[in-house]
Each structure stands twice: as structure tokens, then as C-alpha cells.
Chains A and B, each alone.
Chain A
Amino acid sequence: MTRMLGSDAVLRALEHEGVEVVFGIPGGAILPTYDALARGTTIRHVLARHEQGAGHMAEGYARASGKVGVAIATSGPGATNLVTPIADAWMDSTPLVCITGQVRSNLIGTDAFQETDATGITMPIVKHSWLVQDVEELPGVLKAAFHVARTGRQGPVLVDIAKDVQEGELDFAYPADVDLPGWKPPRKVHVRQVREAARAIAASQRPIVYAGGGVLNGNASAELLELVEAVRLPAVVTLMGKGCLPDSHPLNYGPPGMHGSKYANWALNKADLLIAVGSRFDDRVTGKVSAFAPGAKVIHFDVDAAEVGKIRHAEIPVVGPLKLALAQLAAEVRGLESPGHEPWLRQLESWREQYPYRYRREDGLLKPQTVVEALRDLTAGRDDVLWTTGVGQHQMWAMQYLVCDRPRSFITSGGLGTMGYGLPAAIGAKAARPDATVVCIDGDGCFQMTCQELATAALERLPIVVVIVNNGWLGMVRQWQELFYDERYAQTHLTHQVPDYAQLAEAFGCAGFTVESEDDLERTLAAAFDAGRTAVVDARVDPKENCYPMVPAGAAAVDVIEAPEEEVPA
């Protein structure tokens, strides 16, 4: 036991949890904790320029490292600015501990300056939250917060600490155990269910694995690969799962869904057995649910029982940690006689050859897909590259064209679809993996939502590369307006020129580049990679390029809109 202030206890708790870096911004109600930072800690603090940025940085850190990300903010606006990253982490099951200052206990409930009900506002988007009004509770609450964030289905938690609690004194001892009688995530898997799954796989003629982000969160990539190779199971991998199975693996048929490939969607549509692994039948994957994998029996592996059967009935539910479940399943299927499914694999292969992603190059126009392909080619064969994205067309092209062969190498906002995620997530990822080459592929609309974090990147001396796929529009919205709103382009034109992104980058102390032609593309990207500091590439691309294939929202996944054979040049 050591006598100390609550604020110091917060930091000692974080140190006990193995936290290396936190992301945040100080303010009135969290000042005592920042004072404790100044008094001394092993923890590095990255000063963001907006709390939303701090939250996404913590997310990027968590996704790149597999550890819990930590964001710190003050009360009121500090807390409300964290709401978007918390919601994002909730939707994508990213483990996050958010620590916010709260007004003094005696002022809570009085509409005091910078008071907001942080635990109330975030209630629907956290696994749990705590409002700490007694300094003695601090160690136990922080212990519980980290435990809840990282166990079971991972996700965000919030610890809201009254200012007087940070200033109070306690005898600090960090508890060895958590006292949470109501928190019982599954630790085991029903062997009987796994056996039944194995028998179904052995009996199947057209099986398909549908792997999602849960495989990454469950650190089950090696086990998934083992399973897939054990009986040559073909797999589709969602946006959130990208990298959980090597993209270059011949049994990986890539992303299904709204902007997935035609062959991945057909594979799901014609399958007789769907093996869902850490995926949740999101509407962007399924399209019309009744037409999704209509002929398939469903095996659903998930650590969260509430996901099993939520959207689609599972004939064989398997609830538990995926790492354990997949290892057991691989062992089980190996022991079973199976006729195999070679004709099905040949069918999938012929679809893959027949329906590749495609786009049309045009003279004088830089195509966004070309930019992504150039990035892919520039980094081919390297195992140190880590990608982040914003949300929209560029994200979908990144999903389609990048080759990610390692887990946690593709970091994106899937469920919430948070524009502005890419740059701060890249900063967080770089903090987690300082030796990695971190590249953010962003949209121009996305970039403008959090570009102030260039200051953070520059001052932290992080040589990350931001490539803005600048089409001058809110591109995905523009695409919907073109296809579904009779080409009435309401409020989607941002222009290529304002701001001048290269100049903006320079103003923030970063290296700025502009590229407008395919001829200059490779050279410019290479220069950005070699800049040795934060670099921003403004790649001015064809404003009218659409992202295909596309399954319209609510349509059956087989009713895909394909890229037109001949597009009218812009």
C-alpha cells in the first residue's frame, strides 16, 4: 500500500495494465491527472488536436497491436468529442478504455461548467461504464474497465472520474482480481457443437467460410489458416476481417457484400454450407437477408452469443473463443472421411477468372483504382506495411485492390463508417508499431474531417504517408446520387482545389505532394515514402469514377451492378 493521490493512482493502474501510450487532450476536469503525468510515469502521452482524433488514435493503436487502446479527455465537450470513436469502437469491437474527467462530485447534476452526463450519453455504445465519485474505488474500477474491454467480445468502456476524486488520497494497491459477478464471457467451447460442425463440413459439397473481424480480435488467424488448409475450405473475408487470412492465399476469395467481388457473392449464394467465423451478417455483406446464401446450412462461430442467430438462424451455433474453437474444429475435420469438394473449388476458380475487379483506364485521367494499385505494387513483398483508410469509395477500392497477408495490417472503420478515421488511426497504429510503414489511404472528404491531426503526426515525428484519393467529391454519396437520385448532386461537390492539400501539409510541417497524372504517380508515391517525415500526397483523380461491382442496398447480392463496359470519358 502506498499513499497517493487519485490522479497518480490512475497512472499506476495504467502502468499495471501494461499501457505504453495514451492519446488525449487535457482540460479543466482532467487537469489533476495530467498533473500526475507531469509528475512522472512510464507512459507516453500523445497530444491530439481534437478528442475525436485521440479516440481514433487509441483505436488504431488497439487494432494494430491487439492491446487495449486508451484515450483521455476532459469533461463536457471533451467527453462528447469522444462519442464518435466510442461508437466506432463499439461497432467494430475494438478494445478501448476511455478516461474522462468529470466535474466535482458536489457539482454533478447542477449543469456546472463543462458538465455533461458522459456515462449517460455513451450508455448505448459501451460495454460498461463507471462514474467514480469515491477515490477508494479507483483501482478496482480501472482493473474492471480493462478486463471488460479486452475479454469476451472486445469493445469500449468509459471511466468518468470526478475532479475531486483525482485530487483525493488513497492507499493504493492494485487488485489482482476483478469483482464482476455479472460479467461471464465464454471461455470454453462445446465439444459436441464443434464435432457437429466438423461433420457438417465433411458432408458438405459446397462449403464456404465467411470470416470477419472477430478472427482478428480473437487472434485466431493461424487457426483459421490451419482449418482452411486442412480440408481445402474456400473462404470469403469481410472488410473488417481483411488480413485474417492471407489475401494472396488461393483459397481466399476476398470480400463479399456491397462492393465485394461478384465471385465472392456468388460463392455465398451457391454454397450449401456457410461457416461464419467472427462475422455478424452485417447488411453491407448480406444485402437482402432472405436472399443471402439461400441454400446454405449455417454454422456460426462467435464469442458473443447474442450475434448467433441475430440476423440469420444458425443450425449449428458454436459460442466461445474463436482461437480455441477453430483449433478444435481443424483437429476434428482432419479425422473425418470426406469426399472433398474439388468440383466446387473449380467452379469458384472459374468465377474468379471470369469476374475480376475491373475498371477502365482513360488517357489523361488518373484513376483512383490506379492509385491503390500503385501503392500495392510499391509495397509488394514487404511485410512491414500497415494500412488505414477513411470511409467511402477509396476505402472500398483499398479493400478490393490491396493485398494484405498479415493480421492487423488493414485498419478501417467498418460498422460505424466514420469518415475521418484514417489519419488518426494511422497515428495510433504507428505508435503501436513504430517500425511499420504506415500508410493512410484517405478520401478528400474524410481527410478534411480530422486533418488537424497532421499537427500531431508532425510533432510526434511520425513518418506516416497519407494518400488522399482526391476526386473533389463526397464520392460515395455522389455515386448514390448518380445511380439512385437521378444525378441530382446535392451538396457533394468539394472541388479538387480547395484546400490545396500539399500546401496544407506544409503548413502543418509535413511534406506535401500533388500528383495529377499516371506518369508521375509512382515517382511521387516513392518520394512520399522516402520523405522521412509525415507526408501527404494529393492524388487528383477522375471525379466521376464509380466503385463497382455494387449491390444496391437491400437488394439480393446476386443482383449486382457491374462496371459499365464503356464509360463516357469525363
Chain B
Amino acid sequence: MSEHTISVRLENKPGALARVSQLFSRRGYNIQSLAVGPTERPDISRLTLRVDCSEHSLEQIEKQMHKLVNVLRVTELRPDEAFERELALITVAVTPDRRGDLLALAQVAGAAVADIGRDAIAFEIVGRPDEVDAFEELVRPYGVRELARTGRIGLRRPGAKSSNNNGSR
């Protein structure tokens, strides 16, 4: 088993997302994260899926997805050929005496303050998914009150060499 990021160009049509997610549940594949949104074209959406599966399952996922009429292109985003980002919003409980520590920590981690309250601070952080993970771990000891992550999105690096096996089918 290993983790893979799959990028899907999908027709922006009713039910298209349901067909993809249905396929995953029907075939027993587990989605760790799924992010969907518009692309450079209004009639096309991009899905970024993170899955934990074997190479064999990954191949099956790509082939099965490619049979969906609304799916235009399925590409695996390999770590060396792609860049990925994620946004997280985290509300951390903090007593006034420890605010300074927390804010210093956030600054080092590159997180911004989104809102501040009497006994809590809300941060936003944008970064590579592992950077977001790291910040989450850093603030956990303070007491994470609420957390929302978008799930990763990614694209192929413009500078990536076109390999003969980039996972697209």
C-alpha cells in the first residue's frame, strides 16, 4: 500500500462528482481526501484525490475512472513531477498568558492569524500538505478546538520532464 495523488479533469455536469465518488465506494477504494473546484475552463472541473492503495488498485482506479463518460483525463501526480498545496483553518484554545508563545510559533510555521478571540486564536495556513500536518502537530498541545482542511490540490510542475509513464491514461 502507498499513497497516491490522482488528478482528474471532469466535465462540469450534474452528477459527475457523484459518479466518481460512487465508483470509489462501489469498488472499495478508500479516499483520504478529495478536493474539487473550477479550472481554467468553466465547463471543466478538477478533482484532486488522495488514495492509499496498492499499485494494482491504482491502475484499476485509473482504468475504471477513465470509463466514466464525464471523466476527461486521469493523471497520477507523482511527487517528483508535481506540486501540491492545502489550506487549513485551525482554531486553537489559548489562555492569555500563552498567546505570545503560540503567535511566535505560528509566525515561524508561516501561519497567519485569521481571527482572534478571548480564549482562542484562529489560524490559516497554506502550504504543502506535510507543512500543514506539521503545524497541526505543533499547535495540538495547546488544544485544537476546531479544524478544517480543504484536502490537497495539485498540478504537474511546468518544469517537469515529460516522462513516458506519467500515469495518464
Contacts and interface: CB of A to CB of B under 8 A. Distances in A.
Among A129, A182, A304, find the residue whose CB has the most chain B CB atoms closer than 10 A: A182
A120 B70 CA distance: 15
A120 to B, nearest CB: 7
A interface bracket (residues with beta carbon within 8 Å of B): 10 to 19
Contacts of A305: 63, 66, 169
Contact of B19 (A123, A148, A309): A123
A119 B63 CA distance: 22
Contacts of B11: 181-182
A193 to B, nearest CB: 16
B69 A127 contact: yes
B32 interface: no
B64 A181 contact: no
B interface bracket (residues with beta carbon within 8 Å of A): 20 to 34
Nearest to B15: A119
B70 A182 contact: yes
Contact of A182 (B23, B59, B69): B69
A128 B69 contact: yes
Interface string B61-91: 0011011111110000000000000000000
A182 B15 contact: no
A39 interface: no
B67 A309 contact: no
Interface string B33-59: 000000000000000000000001001
Contacts of B18: 120, 123
Given A119-B15, A305-B63, A306-B63, A183 B69 contact: yes
Nearest to B64: A306
Contact of A304 (B22, B67, B71, B169): B67
B166 interface: no
A181 B22 contact: no
Contact of B22 (A123, A127, A152, A310): A123
B118 interface: no
B14 interface: yes
Nearest to B23: A124
Contacts of B68: 128, 182
A399 interface: no
Contacts of B71: 182
Given A119-B15, A120-B18, A124-B26, A306 B60 contact: yes
Nearest to B22: A123
A180 B69 contact: yes
A217 to B, nearest CB: 15
Contact of B14 (A127, A131, A148, A306): A131
Nearest to A123: B22
Given A131-B14, A182-B11, A182-B72, A306 B67 contact: yes
Nearest to A309: B59
B2 to A, nearest CB: 18
A15 B127 CA distance: 57
17 contacts: A119-B15, A124-B22, A124-B26, A127-B67, A128-B68, A128-B70, A129-B15, A148-B69, A182-B11, A182-B68, A182-B69, A182-B71, A183-B69, A304-B67, A305-B63, A305-B169, A309-B60
* Across the A-B interface, the 3 shortest Cβ-Cβ residue pairs: A306-B63, A128-B69, A124-B26
Interface of B: 11, 14-15, 18-19, 22-23, 26, 56, 59-60, 63-64, 66-72, 169
Interface of A: 119-120, 123-124, 127-129, 131, 148, 152, 180-183, 304-306, 309-310
